[in-house]
Amino acid sequence: MTDHVGIDDIALATTGLVVDLGVLAQAHSVDPDKFYVGIGQSEMSIAGEDEDVVSLAAAAVQTIADRTDISGVRTLLLATETGVDQSKAAGVFVHGVLGLPPNVRVVELKQACYAGTAALMMARSLVCSDPSEKVLVVAVDVAKYDVGSGGEPTQGAGAVAMLITADPSILRIEPKTGVHTDDVMDFWRPNHRTTALVDGKFSIEAYMRSLEGAWTDYRAHDGFAYDDFDHFCYHQPFTKMANKAHAHLVALNGGDADKAEIAELMGPTQTYNRRIGNTYTASIYVGLLSLLETVPADLAGHRVGMFSYGSGSVGEFWSGTVVPGYQLHLDPELTATVLDGRKAIDHEAYLHLHDFALPIDGTSMKIDERAARNGFRLAGVDADRRQYERFEPTSAVLG
């Protein structure tokens, strides 16, 4: 048994296409500052016809494999709420297209945006019980709401892959966590729908209630006190949600922080999310990567409080400490290239992709349109069988 388990590598992938929220605001005759300032989003990553959670997850794992030895990985846990099959785990497609060895077990996990954290905690337990184990965790989603709905400007898509090992190079996960489950209908997506249903204002309330419950449980289980933390990172359905959540946590702890102080504290965790949009299960880990990659100061030894929320709802508060030398295992320039390399599309092209669907009658379709830039794409569907292919990433993504 070991307690020294955590994130040894972490990498982001997103789609090849992006919509500036100014374009959406213009199409809906809305003041763009409602999106840029009010909800704190500037762009949303949009999946092309040839992109889905499998292509995104494979790209994120490949980034890790390109710089860190993943031989010896025996488990791949893929968390998503936008899976591609009711039965076969998306991770098995990822296993296939990456050519991983057969002695890697694969499973898919679901509980709205919380499942990535469930996967991380399961990975941690596996490595705690046998420190020779290495686990790949992938949190990946394509967030889609109805056109014209309040959720539309919060859409996004992306994957975060993490390698979980003993003696990690980036973040050591601490043992205490606090959890909170509450059966509520704040956001959901019945099997027949491609877009989520949401009770927007109530979902914010449910998130806050979950934060309060998870924090209370964390403290009741000997978790650290508020003042023991250097940073906080929250699930970010839109970046302003983190500010609201943190103000709530401050108040719960009898503190008082003005909006500017909170905005300053949350800022480094929001740089990437602001440009990608909601990535559901991946969102909190996009926030963690943003914190680690965009703060110029050395964060070694700093404690980060993490609040993961998944509608429906399950929340978990946990913490980690940053490992000295973590910077050597990150690649902010690559992340910048991934974000800057996306192709901006107009409103018409976005609407086409919003409505795009694979055949549901068993007919075959070859996808000629190429949006993916990161080395993996959905090439088509043949008699209800998805066909994935690898290609040489475009130079923008290679950096």
Active site residues: 81, 113, 235
Question: What minimum distance in Å lies between the beta carbon of 11 and ligand HMG?
Answer: 22
Find the binder of ligand HMG among 154, 177, 239, 319 (CB under 6 A): 154
Q: How many residues bind ligand HMG (CB under 6 A)?
A: 29
Per CB under 6 A, 140 contacts ligand HMG: no
Give yes or no for residue 112 binding ligand HMG (CB under 6 A). yes
- Residue 113 binding ligand HMG, by CB under 6 A: yes
- Asked if 38 interacts with ligand HMG (CB under 6 A), we say yes
Q: How far is the CB of 281 from ligand HMG (least distance, A)?
A: 7
Nearer to ligand HMG by C-beta: 25 or 365? 25
**Residue 280 in the binding site for ligand HMG (CB under 6 A):** yes
- Binders of ligand HMG among residues 338 to 397 (CB under 6 A) are none
Tokens of 385: 């069988």
Position 33 contacts ligand HMG (CB under 6 A): yes
Q: Of 6 and 312, which has the nearer Cβ to ligand HMG?
A: 312
x/- mask, ligand HMG, residues 233-272, rule CB under 6 A, reads: --x-xx--x-------------------------------
Residue 22 contacts ligand HMG per CB under 6 A: no
Is residue 277 close enough to count as binding ligand HMG by CB under 6 A?
no
The answer to the question of residue 316 lying near ligand HMG (CB under 6 A) is no
Beta bridge partners of 163: 9, 136
Least Å from the CB of residue 315 to ligand HMG = 10
User: With respect to ligand HMG, which residue has the nearer C-beta, 74 or 244?
Assistant: 244
**Residues between 198 and 237 that touch ligand HMG (CB under 6 A):** 198, 200-201, 203-204, 207, 235, 237
Largest CA distance in the chain: 60
| Smallest distance, ligand HMG to C-beta of residue 251, A | 15
Contacts to ligand HMG by CB under 6 A: 31, 33-34, 37-39, 81, 112-113, 150-151, 154, 186-187, 198, 200-201, 203-204, 207, 235, 237-238, 241, 278, 280, 309-311
